[in-house]
Structure 1
Amino acid sequence: ESRMFFTFYITRSYVVAYVDVWSASKTENYSDPFIQQLRDMGAQVHKTFNKRITHVVFKNGHQSTWNKAKKLGVKTVSVHWVAR
């Protein structure tokens, strides 16, 4: 079990993430807890979407974020990916 965690931790260290997580009504930004969790696991997290981003954590986010990620071939993952 500890080996699985170690592999997970090392894998996340190569992640440069942008987080776009909002409530279903799109009025509350819920990104901060996921940003902190990613950083705790060794990932880099950027507040702006840029060319270094390798993963977008997305739930109820902005359509422009989704479109940009798809256009640039950036992996788009759910909040469940962070919690694994």
Structure 2
Amino acid sequence: MPVELSVKHQIYQTIDALPAEQLPELLHLLQQFREAVKPEAVTPVAPIYQLAHQAIDTGLADLASQHDHYLYGTAKRDA
């Protein structure tokens, strides 16, 4: 029998042996334990993938194709 199942079986047997009036206290303890070991809801993401969140709407539809014009003041190129 795998160790995990054996441990779970022992836990279940121990719970079954407890008096009913101790079960609410055990439940509260288990809930606290679960909260303490809860994995992060959001997996950390590499900063490069968060770059899109920094984008702003400039209102310039041709910004990518005319970037030299907007950055350096050169004449607009024909599209």
Question: TM-score, with normalisation over the residues of structure 2?
Answer: 0.25
Q: Which has the higher helix share?
A: 2
Structure with higher RCO (Cα < 8 A, 6+ apart): 1
Larger Rg: 2
Q: Which has the higher strand share?
A: 1
Question: TM-score, with normalisation over the residues of structure 1?
Answer: 0.24
